[in-house]
Protein backbone atom coordinates (compact mmCIF):
# COMPACT_ATOMS: atom_id res chain seq x y z
CA UNK A 1 0.00 0.00 0.00
CA UNK A 2 1.31 3.44 -0.96
CA UNK A 3 1.97 6.03 1.77
CA UNK A 4 -0.59 8.83 2.01
CA UNK A 5 0.08 11.88 -0.11
CA UNK A 6 1.03 15.06 1.72
CA UNK A 7 -1.08 17.89 0.38
CA UNK A 8 0.04 21.48 0.18
CA UNK A 9 -1.82 24.20 2.03
CA UNK A 10 -4.48 25.26 -0.48
CA UNK A 11 -5.20 28.52 1.35
CA UNK A 12 -1.94 30.02 0.15
CA UNK A 13 -2.33 31.32 -3.38
CA UNK A 14 -0.59 33.77 -5.62
CA UNK A 15 -3.64 34.10 -7.87
CA UNK A 16 -5.84 37.17 -7.82
CA UNK A 17 -9.37 37.06 -6.43
CA UNK A 18 -11.55 34.71 -8.50
CA UNK A 19 -14.04 36.53 -10.74
CA UNK A 20 -16.92 34.42 -9.40
CA UNK A 21 -16.64 36.34 -6.10
CA UNK A 22 -17.65 39.48 -7.97
CA UNK A 23 -20.85 37.72 -9.07
CA UNK A 24 -21.93 37.81 -5.43
CA UNK A 25 -21.80 41.63 -5.36
CA UNK A 26 -24.70 43.98 -6.00
CA UNK A 27 -24.40 46.46 -8.85
CA UNK A 28 -23.68 49.23 -6.34
CA UNK A 29 -20.95 47.16 -4.67
CA UNK A 30 -19.38 46.27 -8.01
CA UNK A 31 -19.30 49.92 -9.12
CA UNK A 32 -17.78 50.94 -5.76
CA UNK A 33 -15.19 48.16 -6.05
CA UNK A 34 -14.07 49.46 -9.44
CA UNK A 35 -13.56 52.91 -7.93
CA UNK A 36 -11.71 51.49 -4.92
CA UNK A 37 -9.43 49.45 -7.17
CA UNK A 38 -8.16 52.69 -8.72
CA UNK A 39 -6.96 53.64 -5.22
CA UNK A 40 -5.21 50.31 -4.58
CA UNK A 41 -8.01 48.43 -2.82
CA UNK A 42 -8.98 44.88 -3.78
CA UNK A 43 -11.69 42.38 -3.00
CA UNK A 44 -10.14 39.88 -0.58
CA UNK A 45 -13.04 37.48 0.03
CA UNK A 46 -16.79 37.34 0.46
CA UNK A 47 -18.20 36.02 3.71
CA UNK A 48 -21.46 34.15 3.29
CA UNK A 49 -23.23 33.90 6.65
CA UNK A 50 -26.07 31.39 6.74
CA UNK A 51 -29.44 32.96 5.80
CA UNK A 52 -27.84 36.41 5.37
CA UNK A 53 -26.58 38.53 2.48
CA UNK A 54 -22.95 38.05 1.38
CA UNK A 55 -20.42 40.36 3.07
CA UNK A 56 -17.63 41.50 0.71
CA UNK A 57 -14.33 42.22 2.47
CA UNK A 58 -11.87 44.58 0.78
CA UNK A 59 -8.30 45.38 1.72
CA UNK A 60 -6.05 48.32 0.93
CA UNK A 61 -2.94 47.57 -1.11
CA UNK A 62 -0.58 48.03 1.85
CA UNK A 63 -2.71 45.69 3.98
CA UNK A 64 -3.18 48.20 6.78
CA UNK A 65 -6.85 48.99 6.13
CA UNK A 66 -9.67 46.49 5.84
CA UNK A 67 -13.29 47.29 5.11
CA UNK A 68 -16.73 45.97 4.27
CA UNK A 69 -18.52 46.98 1.09
CA UNK A 70 -22.05 47.77 2.23
CA UNK A 71 -25.06 46.77 0.11
CA UNK A 72 -25.41 50.37 -1.16
CA UNK A 73 -21.73 50.49 -2.23
CA UNK A 74 -20.41 52.51 0.70
CA UNK A 75 -17.21 51.42 2.37
CA UNK A 76 -17.18 50.78 6.11
CA UNK A 77 -13.56 50.89 7.26
CA UNK A 78 -13.83 50.98 11.04
CA UNK A 79 -14.53 47.28 11.39
CA UNK A 80 -12.89 44.64 13.56
CA UNK A 81 -11.87 41.96 11.08
CA UNK A 82 -8.88 39.67 11.53
CA UNK A 83 -7.21 38.81 8.23
CA UNK A 84 -4.72 35.97 8.05
CA UNK A 85 -1.37 36.95 6.64
CA UNK A 86 -0.06 34.91 3.70
CA UNK A 87 3.16 33.17 4.66
What would the pLDDT profile of 70-80 be if each residue is shown by its tens digit?
999 999 997 67
Residue 14 within any structural domain of the chain:
no
Q: If pLDDT is split at 50, 70 and 90, which confidence band does 86 have?
A: low
Range of the domain at 25: 19-76
Is residue 30 assigned to a domain?
Answer: yes
Report the distance separating Cα 61 and Cα 81, nearest Å. 16
Note the pLDDT tens digit of each residue in 41-71. Answer: 999 999 888 999 889 999 998 888 899 999 9
For residue 11, being part of any structural domain is answered with no
Instruction: Classify residue 86: in a domain, yes or no.
Output: no
Give me the mean pLDDT over the 26-47 stretch: 94
Domain count for the chain, please give it: 1
Q: Is residue 64 part of a domain?
A: yes
Band (9; pLDDT cuts 50, 70, 90): low
User: Per the domain annotation, does 34 fall within a domain?
Assistant: yes
Residue 78 pLDDT = 72
Around Cβ 33, how many Cβ atoms within 10 Å? 20
Residue 1 lies in a domain: no
DSSP code per residue over 21-67: HHTTS-HHHHHHHHHHHTTT-EEEEEE--TTS--EEEEE-TTSS-EE
Task: With cut-offs at 50, 70 and 90, classify the pLDDT of residue 19.
Answer: low
Buried b (16+ CB within 10 A) or exposed e, 76-85: eeeeeeeeee
pLDDT above 60: residue 7? no
Amino acid sequence: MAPPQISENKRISTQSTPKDLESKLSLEQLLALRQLESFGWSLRFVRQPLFQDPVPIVIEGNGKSVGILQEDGTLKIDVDIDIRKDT
